[in-house]
A and B are shown apart, each in its own frame.
Chain A
Amino acid sequence: MMYKSWWKILASVFVLYTVVGGLLIKVPTLPILHESIRNLYFHVPMWFAMIVIYTVSVVYSIKYLISNDEKQDLIAVEAINVGLIFGFIGLSTGMIWAKFTWGDYWPNDPKLNSAAISTLMYLAYVVLRSSIDEEQKRAKISAVYNIFAYPIMVVLLFVLPRLTDSLHPGNGGNPGFGTYDLDSNMRLVFYPAVLGWILISVWMMTIRYRIRILENKNNQIN
């Protein structure tokens, strides 16, 4: 049991550590950001977790198309459901942060718009699934859409913001966080936070996947 769940313990320890450490450990005092810089530990890991979990979903969609195994489709769906949760939390933490630093809940920023559009893309995936009744057909068609949309999402999140001016660090000529103000103290909290939340997202996905498997078993006629 222990050797299988070591990563869940690791995830819990990391996230607990970042919640405590993120609020207590000293941060550099910067203009505009002030203490809100601590949101870095909570806002940014959401996006890391979201992108990782969407990537997991695409991998399982590809696996589904090759193997036609229903379980792989279930993993892909649940990964997207979890990814959507992280996307919404990422958007809302970002909006609150933006209100305090940039003065507006929704400043016209390419990263915000891209994140919102990629969330729309995966909401469309959910609607597409619910529009098809037949299970195998639903699994196949939604897997195709998932794989088709993924590279466009990558372009949205990683290429487009770099072509235009952005308020976010690391875009449109702004230096990235790492280059000027992410001091070693912050790294000490930030990296475990990213890893911890990624592991939490995978954990959530596996729980939801297992619930789905049990539900399917329950619904079967013996």
Chain B
Amino acid sequence: MNLISQVKYLLKKEILLEWRSKYALNGILLYVVSTVFVCYLSFRVVPPLVWNALFWIILLFAAINAIAKSFMQESKGRLLYYYQIASPQAIIIAKIIYNILLMILMATIALIFYSVVFKNDIGDVWLYYLAVLIGAISFSTVFTMISAIASKANNNGTLMAILSFPVIIPLLMLIIKLSKNAMDGLDRSVSLNEIGVLCAINAIVIVISLLLFPYLWRD
């Protein structure tokens, strides 16, 4: 089997498993919805700057919780099976794509629910949504690799958080700036710089993940 068909099979397997249990999806959605609601009840009204920051913090924690599971749920026996049938690149690509899909779905629902509950004016809705998409993709690419690392190291939640926060902060700062530009309705050409840097970082992260994962996955 070549790489693309391997990725396709693994991705199908991930989605099928998720569809059967619906545990991660429902769990994360409920997590996001209840966090938004807790924030709403404690803040009531927020200024635009806080609105934006709060949204990203909610999304950040939801993403860490969602993606931390991606390697934990694999049992020892299933990993042994993967070693024989698939290449490491196929596994990490399938995981990244699956996490991207999950995060995009989750971020979209979170954004809709968040803006319904917290009223706030967004100047350029489509640019804001683009920022959310780029944010979802960035979270997925970075956290997938970190969760692979954390899963090899006794797999606790603390480790996942301390390893991923410093790595995601530069991306998060750029994303918050980009979404702030969108909220203020600035001209789209102003934000091109941020979009370019974010795409470049994501490309670097994916390439490094592909290079490093083969060293990581086998004990």
Contacts and interface: CB of A to CB of B under 8 A. Distances in A.
Interface centre among B152, B204, B219 (most CB of A within 10 A): B152
Given A144-B215, A145-B149, A131 B154 contact: yes
B167 interface: yes
A188 interface: no
Contacts, number: 78
24 contacts: A117-B169, A127-B162, A128-B163, A131-B154, A131-B159, A140-B215, A140-B216, A141-B152, A144-B149, A144-B212, A144-B215, A145-B163, A148-B149, A148-B205, A148-B212, A152-B205, A155-B197, A155-B201, A159-B197, A160-B170, A160-B173, A163-B174, A163-B177, A163-B197
Given A137-B219, A144-B212, A121 B166 contact: yes
A118 interface: yes
A120 interface: yes
B154 A132 contact: yes
A159 B156 CA distance: 32
Interface string A41-65: 0000000000000000000000001
Given A149-B167, A152-B170, A132 B208 contact: no
Contact of B153 (A131, A155, A159): A131
Interface string A134-147: 00010011011101
A163 B195 CA distance: 12
Interface residues of A, number: 28
Interface residues of B, number: 30
Given A127-B159, A151-B204, A163 B193 contact: yes
Which 6 pairs across A and B sit closest by C-beta, in order of nearness?
Answer: A121-B166, A120-B166, A124-B162, A156-B170, A144-B212, A132-B153
Contacts of B146: 148
Contacts of B162: 124, 127
Interface in B158-208: 159, 162-163, 165-167, 169-170, 173-174, 177, 193-194, 197, 201, 204-205, 208
B91 interface: no
Contacts of B205: 148, 151-152
B7 interface: no
A174 to B, nearest CB: 18
B63 interface: no
